[in-house]
Amino acid sequence: MQICAGACLSRKRSGMENNMSETIRVLHVLGGVGLGGAESRIMDLYRQMNRDEIQFDFLVHSEAMNRVHGGMKNDESVRKPEFYDEEITRLGGHIYVLPKFKVYNYPAYRRAVRDFFEKHHEFQVVQGHMTSTAGIYLPIAKHCGIPITVAHSRNAGVVKGAKGIATKFFRRKLADKADYCFACSKLAGEDVFGAEAMRQGRVKIIHNAIDAGRFTYDAAKRAKVRERMELADRFVLGHVGRFNYQKNHPYLIDVFAGVCKIRKDAVLLLLGEGPDRESIREKCRQLGIEDQVRFMGNQKQPEDYYQAMDMFLLPSFFEGLPGVLVEAQAAGLKCFVSDTITKEAEATDLVTYLSIEKQPSEWAKRICTEADYERRDTYQRMRSAGFDVETQAEGYRLFYRKGDDSQL
């Protein structure tokens, strides 16, 4: 094992004295590179980078790896391709694979992480967005000579049960195990790094930024999209999110069922995939609204669907700072969201916070009451609020190049 000592292992900015002509390689650690919130925000940033100067690579986790030589063989051929694979490759990035962490395979997981970083010394920065195991892989990366390690909190909650308990256990003292701690919101920072680390100013809040211009409201485009989708005379509600516990789809469907009792012209667009999709489809059938709910799957151009919507709904149990809510505001949509979502996501006056403890019918009445509003261009507002990735990318460039986070 290659081990650096002294200044080489010092925290913050160590090893960043790179020749300015040398390409900086940044390794992003994620569960996968499917169409998720964190993945989409990283890809937005990736597209903005001068890739002769800053190049991204990705270290993901795969269930299939657990069945290949005890999870020790780094063979990405056993992994099923995901949504962003082709674009990452086209942009010059590499995708590496680790076994999925299962708690019981802790020794094998550590061994696989160690083997990876002993072989790969080309990264100047390792940025861990998968914080459930960042306390394992970031110290190993540092020990193997990676100059800068970052733990990046993208969420403000965990699922119920044993998995959530394990996640909290392995996140203990994570703020002490990384050179830098980033979070997309105060809630996300406190949830992952703890209140004490937040009070001490050890966590940098960096709001999730998007390509705001891509989502800007366009009346002509909206008309074309709605005509193509045969929605011209319909009241269109929308939601973008993975079908899982966090997003609270059962409540969302109950809200929409209430809307249907008031508005016979209502349609709900659901973008996303996930393990709970079929159970939600069955719930729609049981409520007799299956013909008014469209399951759109993952979409490469979600901006078209935001244009088609009249309102956006997000009744999540928890979020960090939801990029989809930023996208919806960038599209000029009135948004109804759960009051568990951080107020830091409120970039405009288009967001209404409601309690998911209320009856879904109360949401439905409020939605229908406020259906008549003027859609507008919010691009400049999103930029000035710090939610445009073009501006944020320069701060990241300086951080990756010099280890300077002052512009983030």
CB atoms within 10 A of CB 365: 15
Q: What span, in angstroms and rounded, lies between the C-alpha atoms of 128 and 240?
A: 24
Q: Catalogue all structural domains in the chain, each as residue range(s) with its CATH number.
A: 6-209+388-402 (3.40.50.2000), 212-384 (3.40.50.2000)
Other CB atoms within 10 Å distance of the CB of residue 72: 13
Q: What pLDDT is attached to residue 167?
A: 85
> pLDDT tens digit string along 89-114?
999 999 999 999 999 999 999 999 99
With a cut of 80, say whether residue 325 has pLDDT above it: yes
Q: Among residues of the chain, what percentage have pLDDT more than 90?
A: 86
Averaged over 201-229, what is the pLDDT? 97
Reported pTM: 0.88
Could you give the CA distance from residue 59 to residue 99 in angstroms, rounded to a whole number? 10
Evaluated on CA atoms 99, 104, 108, 113, the torsion sign reads positive
φ, ψ of residue 269 to 5 degrees: the values are -100, 125
Whether residue 364 contacts residue 358, with contact meaning beta carbons closer than 8 Å, is answered with: no
Average pLDDT, the chain: 92
Give 79-107 as a DSSP string.
Answer: SPP-TTHHHHHHTT--EEEEEPP-STTHH
Q: Determine the Cα–Cα distance for residues 115 and 120; give it in Å rounded to an integer.
A: 9
Which among 160, 168, 90, 155 is positioned nearest to 129, based on CA atoms?
A: 155
Tokens 């394992």 correspond to what residue? 136
Burial of 294 (0-12, 13-18, 19+ CB in 10 A): middle
**pLDDT tens track for 364-380:** 999 999 999 999 999 99
Predicted pLDDT at 2: 31
pLDDT of amino acid 239:
98
pLDDT of residue 18: 53
Q: What is the pLDDT of residues 38-75, one digit of tens each?
A: 999 999 999 999 999 999 999 999 987 765 544 444 45
Please check the confidence at residue 266 and state whether its pLDDT lies above 90: yes
What pLDDT, on a 0 to 100 scale, did the predictor assign at position 6? Answer: 32
Confidence of residue 248 (pLDDT cuts 50, 70, 90): very high
Residue 15 has pLDDT above 60, yes or no: no
Residue 1's pLDDT is what? 29
Quote the CA–CA distance of 155 and 149 in Å, as a whole number.
Answer: 19
- Measured CA to CA, the distance from residue 233 to residue 34 in angstroms comes to 33
